[in-house]
Amino acid sequence: MNKKDVVIGLSAVAVVILGIFSLMSDAANSLPEKVITNISPTTDQTALGVGGPELACAPNTWVKRKDFGGLGRQGPFGFSIGSQGYMGGGSVFDPTTGQGSLTADFWEYNSTTNVWTQRADYGGGKRAEATGFSIVAKGYAGTGYWVTSTNNVRETKDFWEYNPTTNVWTKKADFGGKERSNAVGLSIGSNGYIGTGDFGKDFWEYNPTTDAWTRKADFGGQGRDGAVGFSIVGKGYIGTGDLSPANLIALKDFWEYNPTTDAWTRKADFGGQASANGAGFVLNSKGYIQLQSDFQEYDPIIDKWIKKANFPLPYLLTQVGFPIGKNGYIAGGNNAGTRTKDLWMYCPGAAN
């Protein structure tokens, strides 16, 4: 869907999700309905699964946790730092006003107490389809789009750093590529990366020490929108997504990025159906992708996908995923036309 073809205040909005038309139950909301994937790995993926709480739950199960503290939303950004998860921004529908809007609110999830706490609003203002990742003890978010007072959509390239200790957002160097939304963000070691989005394939590295962006080798597959990405033991991974803005052709190819050689290598295709606008995280050096109800585990050592327990919401898209300790979390999103506040925890168990 072209985000510029947007008018706020219609009584209902038909949106295309994965090529299937669904009448929005969020009546009176016609905010831009372009969907997003925000993949939010922790700072150093080699350390995932170490530290943080290990809640008691059966292996390979989903457990409902405390609902998100703000309004239900689609297209937020997120990341995790230590034992805390973070989610903010996105497209919301306020039932008290009957109106839809973008938001800048930003929330922290404490996995130990199972409590959400509102933190400082995102520094870039109201935003949807931004992307986020974390490096060491800081969170980073940028790109995405906002809507003007005359309902015009404006994509951005600004980039911000969040310090959870001071609860302050600080503007950093703008993203090195063109303005975009629905991109993939991930971190490898002490650097961050943003690529794809808006059907592009360029890929950029962010150095937080020098506050500088460097263009790297283009993504190995075709340019795309709504891909999923994460990093495992010093390598980056990106796959799935939509190929064309005209007909939203879904993809399932999956690629590995080696930052040492600055090269992409094609790996085994995603194990489920070709799809877009899902979420992912990494636990114990294995990657996970959730696309609607389908949930799959990727083992980079044997280059194989293994189907896991179905995700409880059958049509969820445009959500965020992040890992905390030995468990993974999926928050927010749009489930069959309804913006959700759900937070679900995945327990891989000892067998992982």
For each of the chain's 352 residues, which pLDDT tens digit applies? 334 333 233 223 323 333 332 323 333 333 333 333 344 443 333 333 333 445 678 999 999 999 999 999 999 999 999 999 999 999 999 888 888 899 999 999 999 999 999 999 999 999 999 999 999 999 999 999 999 888 899 999 999 999 999 999 999 999 999 999 999 999 999 999 999 999 999 999 999 999 999 999 999 999 999 999 999 999 999 999 999 877 789 999 999 999 999 999 999 999 999 999 999 999 999 999 999 999 999 999 999 999 999 999 999 999 999 999 999 999 999 999 999 999 999 999 864 4
CATH 2.120.10.80 fits 36-347, yes or no: yes
Burial class (CB in 10 A: 0-12, 13-18, 19+), 242: buried
DSSP assigned state of 173 = P
Largest CA distance in the chain: 54
Q: For CA atoms 165, 166, 169, 174, give the dihedral sign.
A: negative
Quick one: tokens of 181?
A: 């939304």
- The 10s digit of each residue's pLDDT in 255-289 is 999 999 999 999 999 999 999 999 999 999 999 99
Q: What residue spans define the domains of the chain? A: 36-347
Asked if residue 283 lies in contact with residue 328, where contact means CB atoms within 8 angstroms, the answer is yes
Asked if residue 79 lies in contact with residue 106, where contact means CB atoms within 8 angstroms, the answer is no
How far is residue 44's CA from residue 312's CA, in Å, rounded to a whole number? 29
Strand partners, 115: 110
- The 10s digit of each residue's pLDDT in 127-145 is 999 999 999 999 999 999 9
How far is residue 204's CA from residue 185's CA, in Å, rounded to a whole number? 10
Q: Give this prediction's pTM.
A: 0.86
- Three-state DSSP class for residue 239: strand
